[in-house]
Structure 1
Amino acid sequence: MKKINVAIADDQILFRKGMIGIINGLADTQITIEADNGRTLLEAIATSETKPDIVLLDLSMPELNGVETTKILHADYPDIKIIILSVHSDERFVAHLMELGINAYLFKNVEPSEVEKAILAVIEKGFYFNEVFLKAMKNRMLGKKPRLLIQDNIPSTLTQRELEVLDLICRQYTAQEIAEKLFISTRTVDGHRNNLLEKTGVRNTAGLVVFAIKNNLLDPSALL
């Protein structure tokens, strides 16, 4: 397995240096870019010959915060995966970031082993949702008052096969595993995934999971 190139942006020096030590200590990952704010991060990526596979991004930073940096990264470097590292646990805020297209959201008090788990999952499956996030999503949906959504009519446009692929994506199966389970080719799986992205209007696989939860196509409890 080739090394996973990771960039990190966090203005807390002690935390950033600690994360760099953890990432560089893992078997298949290495820090290639270090920054103390979003603007410095973007400048470093622009001039780097090797773009990072993943960006570990703090939310509260000077110059350019994590939310604005996320928007620019998606516009300029859509292939770069984003993992947010934050102390904020507000469910509405977390869900909003997922809708912006991040691939994982980790609280800063997680164990180093979970950081590694998240990085590998994001590379292999496109997203990583831990138990804290899934419980937050479940609580939000249980406490949410019913209301009409713009996408209320979208689930009805999905074919049975697309719904099957969506369910397996949410359950963290890889494209190869989905292909084997449904007796189709990986190219066909990719085709269904692209159709799902186009129909739902979300940015990535993580967005598909959020879409499924919000539209009651999946109970978050099933992923715990």
Structure 2
Amino acid sequence: MKHTINIAVAEDQVLFRECFIANIQKFEHINVVVEAGNGKELITRFSKMEKLPDILLLDLSMPEMNGLETTKYLKEHMPEVRIIVLSVHGDEKYVVSMVQHGVNGYLAKDAELDTVLKAIDSVYEKGFFFNDTMLRGLQSGGLQKKYKISRFNVLDTITRREREVLELICKEFTTQEIAEKLFLSVRTVDGHRNNLLEKTGARNTAGLVIFALKNDLVSLDV
């Protein structure tokens, strides 16, 4: 049986929000504990909670306090909340920009319900979610023309074992699965992940995936 995942939803369009919540709560392990119409309202509600939700599904375009502003605040003050962005913008530059600010996943608002569920489960279990289209775009190398990739000596400091861990992270293996595959302890895998975060400057696992794809460190069959 899956662990119950506590969810918050921040979306200013009331009808969309209510329909969205009604749909995702059809899954037994999904529990929506907070809903809000903007970032300011969301943070006020978070501040009154003893236990914060596991995942926030966050609209980018909201009044008073938008998705980017909300992300920046949460990453500074409530970093344990994992964030999946909901957006009508599917362009790669939006994905990369939000990941650089610390979000864990990115969903188009017209995504199918099974994709939403996959995103929630993936972010809860593995720390990130990108759909196949996004991964292809990130892997294509096109972004390297738009964004300066800092190669200097960072790539040289990443060890062979760290690259192995990074590749398995990108292929969506969980920490436990990586440990079993590489005959390591979970603690050792976590140590390698932490080293990668420090070396690359990534904010989270999603950031590591972006770094790996943009620097051609892994090749994914997506």
Q: Scaled by the length of structure 2, what TM-score is found? A: 0.94
2:61 is aligned with 1:60: yes
- Alpha-carbon displacement from aligned partner over 1:149-170 (angstroms, at most 9, x marks no partner): 4343211101111111011111
Residue 157 of structure 2 aligns with an amino acid whose one-letter code is T
Cα shift at 1:143? 6.2
Give the distance between the partners of 2:221 and 2:23, measured in 1 at CA.
27
Offset of 1:147 from its aligned partner?
8.0
Shift in alpha-carbon separation, 1:223–1:39, aligned structure 2, 3 A: farther
| Aligned twin of 2:27 | 26
Equivalents in 1 of 2:221, 2:100: separation in Å? 19
**Could you say which residue in structure 1 is the equivalent of 2:180?**
180
Identity %: 51
Q: Does 1:121 align with 2:125?
A: no
- Partner letter of residue 106 of structure 1? L
Identify the residue that residue 41 of structure 2 maps to in structure 1.
Answer: 40
- In the alignment, is residue 5 of structure 1 matched against residue 6 of structure 2? yes
Q: What stretches of structure 2 of length at least 5 have no aligned partner? A: none
Residue number in structure 1 paired with 2:156: 156
Conservation of the 8 A alpha-carbon contact between 1:91 and 1:136 = yes
- Bigger drift between 149-158 and 26-35 goes to 149-158
Q: Deviations over 1:163-215 (max 9, x none)?
A: 11011111111111111111111111011111111111111100000000111
Aligned-partner residue type, residue 189 of structure 1? V
Number of the residue aligned with 1:75: 76
Unaligned runs of 5+ in 1: none
Q: Which stretch has the larger CA shift, 51-60 or 146-155?
A: 146-155
TM-superposed deviation, 1:134:
1.2
| Shift, 1:43, TM fit | 0.7
Deviation string, structure 1 residues 1-42 (Cα, Å, up to 9, x no partner):
442110000001111001110121111011100100011001
| Secondary structure class of the residue paired with 2:8 | strand
1:208 aligns with 2:208: yes
CA change 1:25–1:104 in 2 (3 A) is same
Point out 4+ residue stretches in structure 1 off by more than 4 angstroms: none
Q: CA RMSD in A?
A: 1.6
**Amino acid corresponding to residue 116 of structure 1 in structure 2:** L
Instruction: Decide whether the 8 Å contact of 1:152 with 1:215 is kept in 2.
Output: no
Of Structure 1 and Structure 2, the greater helix share is in 1
Paired residue total: 221
Look up the equivalent residue of 2:214 and give its one-letter code: K
